[in-house]
Amino acid sequence: MRISTDGPSSGTSGAVLARRSVVAGAVGNFIEWYEFGVYAYFATTIAANFFTPQGGGAAEALVRTYASFALAFFFRPVGALLLGRVGDRYGRRPALVAAVLTMTAATTAIGLLPTYATVGAVAPWLLTALRIVQGLSAGGEFGGAVALMTESAPPGKRGVYGAWQSLTVAFGLLGGAAAATLVTSALTESQVAAWGWRLPFLAALPMGLGALWLRLRLAESPAFVRAARADRVRVRVAPGASGTSTAGQAVPGPATAGESVSARTVCAVVVGCGRLMAWSAAGYTFLVVLPTYLQQTVGRSAQQALLATVVANLGFATAIVPAGALSDRLGRRPVMATGAVLAALSALPLLHVVQDPGAPVWLTCGAVALAGALVGLSAGPGPAMLAEMFPMQARHTGLGVAYALANAVFSGCAGLLITELVRRTGNPDVPAYYVVVTCAVGALALAISRDDGHRRALRD
């Protein structure tokens, strides 16, 4: 395919198409992260209902809860491969429709699950199975949405358009926090533990139906349509040429060509994982693991933990779009590397502020807001950076797998690793050490990367 992929043509129709692509692409991501926020906030309640047989300890149950959380992340690359192939062969739209359908169904089903007290040891297995389904759908969601947004973006604005995918992470987590706040404020502690925790999961059903409606009305990525048309024309007008039969039917090209594309894609996936390390690890530590850590390790109340989570996500959300816009001017590398370096340097001091029971409220809020903003410096340019690493025929799959692998290793394991290490060592600074190490390695991966992708058209 030798085509232009700069984005939609100028004019009102191109601008409307680009905006619709952003909305339809981002809405599924919102639901995904809403669910993860709800799951993280109610982790202790879920542990008690699903992973605590009679005589089991609360800490052990929480580790098992996070193990289920991590397992879902390790199915994300599988989902990225399966739905990515659909998106690269048949279009971004059908893959995105399938992703939002499966995510909505699995999240709603979690709200209906019987607990350990009702069905015994079957309960945690049912929960884990639904988490796996969520992992599969989430794996295909990111690649399709980012491909759609960046391929629909006007020239010079891929960073901003891709940043909206990351912004919905913050919105989803904030939505989960809002739902948790509503439930915990309206119900007693015993009601929340008995059945109230189910309500935020069931709320995913109407949200998912709305997302499905938007995606069914969505036009296909204009770059993908142009690529498909160009490919059909090439086969039709050049019968007998290399790679086609005399009847004009496509036949496989040389094996070395296909192998070289695959090798380049695999290499790009590995490099992409390294570049995303800081975003994945620091993001989950500061934005998802934080509420449970504050309750279990620091001894803060549920309301204090929720407030810290909301403030951290507000700081995260505030930085994302400006960081994406800045990367359109300066490049993806300097913006993302700055965020990784600053996160590594400030992780321990910021955590000490959060741990200090005598710290003023404004100082604690400022610390968690700053932590979230530093993650936003990586999350804003990240989607566009990934899209620029892969060609059209492998973009959905490649960027989806890179993102899914980075999240499986550095995000999905964050809660499990931090909780277990704190339990074994008794050291409350474990989250900061985790952020320091991963952000330092991530900054190194960014420092040695090529940095002219923001100036070039997307690869065809």
pLDDT in tens, the chain (460 residues): 433 334 444 444 566 767 777 888 788 889 888 987 788 778 778 888 887 765 455 666 666 666 766 677 788 899 999 999 999 888 888 999 999 999 999 999 999 999 888 888 888 889 889 989 988 998 888 888 898 888 888 888 999 999 998 898 889 888 988 898 899 889 998 999 899 999 999 999 999 999 899 888 887 877 788 777 776 544 333 344 333 333 333 333 333 334 445 778 888 899 999 999 999 999 888 887 777 777 777 777 777 777 888 899 899 999 999 999 999 999 999 999 999 999 999 999 999 988 888 888 888 889 999 999 999 999 999 999 999 989 888 899 999 999 989 988 887 777 778 878 888 888 888 989 999 999 999 999 898 877 766 777 777 6
Q: Are 280 and 404 in contact (CB under 8 A)?
A: no
Q: Are 291 and 368 in contact (CB under 8 A)?
A: no
* Angle subtended by helix axes 255-284 and 332-355, to nearest 10: 30
pLDDT at site 26? 84
Give exposure, 86-110, as e/b (b: 16+ Cβ within 10 Å).
bbbeebbbbbbbbbbbbbbbbbbbb
For the record, the structure tokens of 29 come out as: 């991501």
Q: Which residues contact 298 (CB under 8 A, 6 or more apart)?
A: 354, 355, 428
Residue 250's DSSP bridge partners are 244
Among the listed residues 294, 383, 370, 385, the one whose alpha carbon sits nearest the alpha carbon of residue 339? 370
Q: What is the DSSP letter of 459?
A: P
**What's the CATH architecture for 12-228+263-455?**
Up-down Bundle (1.20)
State how far the Cα of 325 lies from the Cα of 110, in Å rounded to an integer: 38
pLDDT at site 62? 66
The residue with tokens 């090439």 is 234
End-to-end CA distance of the chain: 6
State how far the Cα of 10 lies from the Cα of 5, in Å rounded to an integer: 13
Q: Which amino acid is at 450?
A: R
H/E segment holding residue 301: none
Q: What is the pTM of this model?
A: 0.79
SS (H, E, C) 323-352: HHHHHHHHCHHHHHHHHHHHHHHHHHHHHH
Would you call 79 exposed, middle or buried from its count of C-beta atoms within 10 A (0-12, 13-18, 19+)?
buried
What is the rounded (10 degree) CA torsion for 294, 296, 302, 307? 10
pLDDT at site 239? 41
CA distances to 7, 111, 232, 234, 416 from 247, in Å: 33, 56, 13, 13, 58
For the record, the structure tokens of 340 come out as: 């990784």
Q: Which amino acid is at 105?
A: A
pLDDT at site 345? 95
State how far the Cα of 149 lies from the Cα of 164, in Å rounded to an integer: 9
State how far the Cα of 20 lies from the Cα of 43, in Å rounded to an integer: 35
Residue 244's DSSP bridge partners are 250
State how far the Cα of 23 lies from the Cα of 52, in Å rounded to an integer: 41
Q: What is the DSSP letter of 457?
A: P
Q: Which residues contact 350 (CB under 8 A, 6 or more apart)?
A: 367, 368, 370, 371, 432
Give exposure, 348-361, as e/b (b: 16+ Cβ within 10 Å).
eebbebbbeeeeee
Q: Which amino acid is at 401?
A: V
The residue with tokens 């938007």 is 214
Domain positions in the chain: 12-228+263-455
